[in-house]
Amino acid sequence: MRTRVGLVLEEFLADYTAVLGRVGEELSDLEAPLQAAVLAGGKRLRPLFAYWGGRAAGAPDGEELVRAAASLELLHAFALIHDDVMDDSDLRRGRPSAHRALAAAHQAAGRHGDPDRYGSAAAILLGDLLLVLSEQMLVSSGAGIRVRDVFASMRLELMAGQYLDIAAPTRGGVSLERALRIARYKSGKYTVEAPLHLGAAVAGAPAAVVDAYTAFALPIGEAFQLRDDLLGVFGDSAVTGKPSGEDLREGKQTALIALTRTHASPAGQELLAAQLGHPSLDVDALRGVIVDSGACERVERMIADRCEHALAVLDAAPLAPEGRDALRELAIAAANRHA
């Protein structure tokens, strides 16, 4: 299925690259970062959840489902490019992030102006282009109004969640409850719930299936983001493709940090308050505070509890066996990944 999604995306982007080329040869500058954002790697989780959500709900293995599912990868690429600009990230999937690659190309060509300013502006427009193309691809699948409504809600919740994420550090420490709300809207709902709902809409599934998908997806989506929180602090950069400890430098107000703030020693709380979000922080020292507080073990238990609950819901849902089995595998993989 990952191969099929990749081929559909490659064909779709080739058509639109030709269209952009007719506008002006300058737009060829965007071709390499566009290809890197969409075709170079990625787990394809959102298309996979959409595809198997549709199959489990009775949709046939047809062009409409595959293209509708693949459109979510364009939406995801948009979100990652804008996220990297907002976080000023250097790397994505082990390669220079889009705004860094565009800045480097500007500088290498000896063009006028500030390369970094150009790189950020061009990356924002590239992300906007991918957002437009994601809807174009969804429409080209022949998706009906119900599918498009799911897609519209998905985009709205994604934008709202991203704002919650950037707003949290400006308000100081956040509670565990608030950190989980950020996780739900920034990542969980658009990674699992909305793709499943999109697949269900393609299948014309009844409300009972949609409700079961929500009950399954929300805990798995939270588990996915909780795992991401751990990887953002302790992940191996050679595996994650992002600098180790980046979430600490960015001052991300995650559930891991909320639990650390609550359970750390007074000295640990003082160190966390002083260093979190500072570019020159001592990553190893903050990791020690997090480990000593027991926050890692608490997050692992939260992940395990959410997975157990979600899989029990999945087992009881009125779904086709093949699709149910695939969704079980996807859920376990999403919650226990290393990158």
- The helix-helix angle for 194-203 and 45-56 (nearest 10°) equals 40
- The per-residue DSSP string of 71-133 comes to HHHHHHHHHHHHHHHHHT-SEETTEE-HHHHHHHHHHHTT-SS-HHHHHHHHHHHHHHHHHHH
The pair of structure tokens assigned to 205 is 């599934």
The pair of structure tokens assigned to 49 is 């959840």
C-alpha 266/C-alpha 289 separation (Å) is 10
C-alpha 245/C-alpha 279 separation (Å) is 11
The pair of structure tokens assigned to 187 is 């990542």
C-alpha 146/C-alpha 261 separation (Å) is 43
Q: What is the mean pLDDT of residues 221-244?
A: 90
Q: What percent of the chain shows pLDDT beyond 70?
A: 100
Q: What is the mean pLDDT of residues 94-110?
A: 95
Contact 35, 16 (CB under 8 A): no
Contact 334, 223 (CB under 8 A): yes
Fold for 2-335, please state it.
Farnesyl Diphosphate Synthase (1.10.600)
- Measure Cα distances from 58 to 15, 148, 180, 314 in Å: 31, 19, 32, 15
What pLDDT is attached to residue 173? 83
C-alpha 91/C-alpha 23 separation (Å) is 30
* Burial of 325: CB neighbours in 10 Å, binned 0-12, 13-18, 19+: middle
Q: Is the pLDDT of residue 105 over 90?
A: yes
The owner of tokens 């020693």 is 265
C-alpha 99/C-alpha 208 separation (Å) is 43
Q: Is the pLDDT of residue 314 over 90?
A: yes
C-alpha 284/C-alpha 28 separation (Å) is 42
Q: What is the mean pLDDT of residues 17-42?
A: 89
Which of the four pLDDT bands, split at 50, 70 and 90, describes residue 82?
A: very high
Identify which of 230, 200, 236, 237 has the alpha carbon closest to the alpha carbon of residue 217. 200
What pLDDT is attached to residue 240? 83
Which of the four pLDDT bands, split at 50, 70 and 90, describes residue 307?
A: very high
Map out the domains of the chain as residue ranges.
2-335
C-alpha 4/C-alpha 166 separation (Å) is 35
- Measure Cα distances from 45 to 48, 84, 150, 258, 337 in Å: 5, 19, 17, 27, 11
C-alpha 79/C-alpha 59 separation (Å) is 28
* Burial of 226: CB neighbours in 10 Å, binned 0-12, 13-18, 19+: buried
The pair of structure tokens assigned to 289 is 């505070």
The owner of tokens 């047809």 is 62
Residues 6+ apart with CB under 8 A from 148: 138, 139
What pLDDT is attached to residue 131? 97
Q: Is the pLDDT of residue 118 over 90?
A: yes
Contact 59, 326 (CB under 8 A): no
Least confident of 89-98, 128-137, 196-205, 328-337: 89-98
